[in-house]
């Protein structure tokens, strides 16, 4: 069983409230004081786990089945931490029936200041992280502050007078999660560039076509092993492009250790990369991440890609070790005038591997796509298909609706999460 947003957040919140309840008299459970205190413990717990997930530890990625799922849960941990922190702020976390003391006493004014700063810090972290209009470079640096700001949150719960003592189950819960959170934040801020798997690559060739570019890089020293369908964080040693940005790998591993990316201008960072990418540029590549693998399993494979979501399928097509590609149907959604760079010969590669490529420029609601999809399902049977998807959320919603209409179960769909922000 893989962890996800619900399977992590719900148990953590329940545990937070349950352990908090064990620290106060039962007569005070149905009170706003208990609601506030439990919400505060839940908020700290969720923040700590968000810091752990942000460290990009391989063991954590394996638990969630891919770094894309880790980042989705990371986002929701922050959102729900803000929700519970707001409840904690609105109601007073105290009642005369509780015996209270601070684990780390501070002067009264400092305690109040830390309390207010902890909420403001969390609010800024979450709101700025969810704001897609902020330039990537600014967004990333704001987000890097979440680790140091978490120390303010720890200072708040340690200096706040409450019935939770460090030796109690609730106190141990908070201490252990806070320690893990600090370790995760410290690793990401200081140790990640030193201990993570990365290598130096040089840009060998650039093929551009309007708003898209195909980048081919070769290692300057050691190479990074990866599988088709995985992605990397790339940091170019060039002004304005130094922030590591995630890109899906569009190759399956060349003999010379080369690696390729197909990038479309979708934001301030990618727009600048498309314009300024030149052969000879050097990049640090952090990889591999992701678990987007083919699942043939003897079923009729249907691939569906939207926009730059075509990238992992390009890697699948170039995978020399891949078998059973003949008979695959590949629905490729694109916007007219926004074709792939010339270096990416999608029709030729698909033809060479025996894959049926169906280009669609009219959108998922077109009768042609719906009819062709239904025909493939009818031939193979609803239980005999395996759908792999990568693209925008709107397209994914349309595909799921079509699956329901044709009787294809949800477990016949695997999809890569398209956006990290």
The residues spanned by each domain of the chain are 5-195, 198-289, 300-416
Helix (H, G, I), strand (E, B) or coil at 380: helix
Q: Which of 43, 68, 39, 41 is nearest to 53 (CA)?
A: 68
- Quote the pLDDT of residue 170: 97
CB-CB contact of 185 with 54 (8 Å): yes
Put the strands of the sheet holding 231-236 in their side by side order: 245-248, 231-236, 282-289, 198-209, 212-219, 259-264
Do 328 and 301 form a contact (C-beta atoms < 8 A)?
A: yes
- The β-bridge partners of 332 are 305, 359
> What's the confidence (pLDDT) of residue 141?
74
Rounded to two decimals, what is the model's pTM?
0.88
For domain 198-289, give the CATH number.
Answer: 2.40.30.10
pLDDT recorded at residue 418: 59
Residue 282 near residue 366, CB atoms below 8 Å: no
pLDDT value at residue 419: 64
- Structure letter (DSSP) for residue 287: E
Give yes or no for a contact between 227 and 94, defined as CB atoms under 8 angstroms apart. no
Taking the C-alpha atoms of residue 417 and residue 393, their distance in angstroms, rounded to an integer, is 8
348, with CB counted inside 10 A (0-12, 13-18, 19+), is exposed
Cis previous bond, 393, omega within 30: no
Question: 203 - beta bridge partners?
Answer: 217
The reported pLDDT for the residue numbered 198 is 94
| Tokens read off for 74 | 């990371």
Query: Each residue's pLDDT tens digit in the chain (421 positions)?
Result: 689 999 999 999 999 999 999 999 999 999 999 999 999 999 999 999 999 999 999 999 999 989 999 989 998 998 899 899 989 989 999 999 999 999 988 887 888 888 888 888 777 777 766 666 777 777 777 777 788 888 988 999 999 899 999 999 999 999 999 999 999 999 999 999 888 999 999 999 999 888 899 999 999 999 999 999 999 999 999 998 998 999 999 998 777 889 999 999 888 889 999 999 999 999 999 999 998 998 876 889 999 999 889 999 999 999 988 888 988 999 999 988 778 888 899 999 999 999 999 999 988 999 999 999 999 999 999 999 999 999 999 999 999 999 999 999 999 999 987 565 5
Q: What CATH topology corresponds to 300-416? A: Rossmann fold (3.40.50)
Q: Among residues 47, 54, 129, 130, which one has the least CA distance to residue 84?
A: 47
Q: How far is CA 132 from CA 135, 136, 357, 394, 419, in A?
A: 8, 8, 33, 17, 11
Residue 111 half-sphere exposure toward CB, CA atoms < 13 A: 14
Going from the C-alpha of 159 to that of each of 64, 141, 154, 217, the distances in angstroms are 34, 28, 9, 52
C-alpha to C-alpha distance for 329 and 404, rounded to whole angstroms: 19
d(CA 285, CA 372): 39
């Amino acid at each position: 069983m893989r962890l996800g947003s619900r399977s992590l957040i719900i148990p953590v919140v329940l545990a937070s409230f349950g352990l908090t309840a064990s620290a106060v008299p039962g007569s005070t459970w149905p009170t706003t004081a208990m609601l506030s205190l439990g919400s505060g413990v839940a908020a700290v717990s969720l923040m700590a786990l968000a810091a752990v997930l942000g460290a990009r530890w391989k063991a954590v990625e394996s638990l969630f089945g891919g770094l894309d799922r880790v980042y989705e849960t990371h986002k929701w941990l922050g959102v729900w931490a803000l929700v519970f922190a707001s409840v904690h702020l609105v109601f007073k976390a105290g009642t005369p029936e509780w015996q209270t003391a601070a684990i780390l006493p501070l002067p009264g004014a400092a305690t109040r200041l830390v309390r207010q700063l902890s909420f403001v810090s969390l609010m800024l972290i979450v709101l700025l992280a969810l704001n897609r209009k902020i330039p990537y470079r600014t967004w990333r640096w704001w987000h890097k502050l979440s680790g140091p700001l978490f120390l303010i949150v720890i200072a708040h719960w340690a200096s706040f007078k409450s019935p939770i003592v460090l030796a109690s189950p609730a106190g141990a819960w908070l201490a252990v999660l806070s320690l893990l959170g600090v370790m995760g934040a410290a690793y990401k801020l200081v140790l990640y560039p030193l201990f993570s798997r990365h290598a130096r690559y040089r840009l060998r060739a650039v093929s551009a076509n309007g708003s898209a570019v195909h980048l081919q890089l070769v290692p300057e020293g050691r190479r990074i092993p990866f599988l088709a369908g995985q992605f990397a964080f790339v940091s170019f040693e060039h002004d304005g492009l130094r922030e590591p940005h995630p890109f899906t790998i569009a190759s399956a591993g060349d003999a010379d250790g080369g690696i390729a990316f197909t990038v479309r201008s979708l934001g301030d960072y990618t727009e600048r990369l498309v314009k300024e990418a030149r052969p000879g540029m050097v990049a640090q590549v952090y990889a591999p991440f992701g678990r987007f693998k083919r699942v043939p399993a003897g079923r009729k494979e249907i691939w569906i890609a939207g926009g730059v979501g075509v990238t992992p399928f390009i890697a699948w097509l170039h995978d020399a070790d891949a078998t059973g590609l003949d008979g695959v149907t590949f629905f490729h959604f694109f916007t007219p005038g926004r074709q792939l760079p010339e270096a990416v010969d999608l029709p030729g590669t698909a033809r060479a591997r025996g894959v049926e490529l169906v280009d669609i420029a009219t959108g998922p609601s077109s009768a042609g796509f719906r009819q062709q999809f239904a025909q493939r399902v009818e031939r193979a049977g609803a239980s005999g298909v395996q759908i792999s998807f990568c693209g925008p959320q709107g397209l994914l919603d349309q595909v799921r609706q079509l699956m329901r209409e044709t009787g294809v179960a949800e477990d016949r769909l695997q999809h890569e999460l398209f956006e990290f922000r």
